[in-house]
Amino acid sequence: MVRLMSEIQVPSEQERKELRQSYAEEATAQEILEKLEANTHDAVSLRDLYRYAHGDLEGFDIINIEKGLASNPAMRNALRRMITEAALYHSGEARAAGESGPIPRFGNGFSIRYQTSKTASDNIYIIIELIGEVPQLKHILYIFDEADTCKSFTLPPPRNGIIQVLVSRDDPLLEMLSDPKTEVMLR
């Protein structure tokens, strides 16, 4: 059925007002849905955060998780709690810094000390001594600062209860170990 233009009735002022209102509501709802979809796409699930905390880094967007951690203090705190629960060794904060540079750490069943390389004085050995029976480790050192920001470092496997890592004096790992407010955990 074809209608002629002369047969179409112009809506009344009240009907036009209602149409404008309906259109505005529909446009607002669409905008909200689009924003929710965009935020959901970037959201980090608790499952993915748990996998990240336990070193299961295969099959999901690590960059998205690290972006979320950088902007969300609650997520950083949750990650810290997950890693603390899973850590086999935990040092807590260092007692005091006597001089500048990396601070020796002591925890239940392990210690961290430092030794300048004899062959290259601009390098330092980080020596982690595991005391007693050494459990199966994931070989990851986690360091948390006061804001729950976490940096993780992959370590070589222990040899006779000792893990040695050679780093330059300007390495970020050494810088974090020089801060008495950081907390060290080993998995």
* Domain containing residue 165: CATH number: 2.40.30
Tally the domains of the chain: 2
The reply to whether 67 and 92 lie within a common domain is no
Select from 75, 100, 122 the last residue of a domain: 75
69 lies in the same domain as 23: yes
**What pLDDT shows up at residue 23?**
79
Task: Tell the residue number behind the tokens 């392990």, with chain if given.
Answer: 110
pLDDT of residue 167: 94
Residue 7 lies in a domain: no
Quick one: pLDDT at residue 16? 84
- pLDDT band per the 50, 70, 90 thresholds, residue 65: confident
CB of 126 closer than 8 Å to CB of 120: no
Please compute the mean of the pLDDT values over residues 98-126 and round it to a whole number. 87
Residues 100 and 176 occupy one common structural domain: yes
> Where in the chain does DSSP place strands (E)?
89-93, 105-107, 110-116, 123-130, 140-144, 150-154, 162-168, 183-186
Report, as an integer, the average pLDDT of 33-40: 61
Q: List phi, psi (to 5°) of 151.
A: -120, 135
Domain range for 133 = 88-186
Q: Provide the 3-class DSSP secondary structure of residue 130.
A: strand
Last residue of a domain, one of 75, 109, 126: 75
Q: Is there a domain that residue 3 lies in?
A: no
pLDDT at 37 over 70: no
Indicate whether 103 and 178 sit together in one domain.
yes
Say yes or no: 104 and 57 in one domain: no
d(CA 48, CA 63): 12
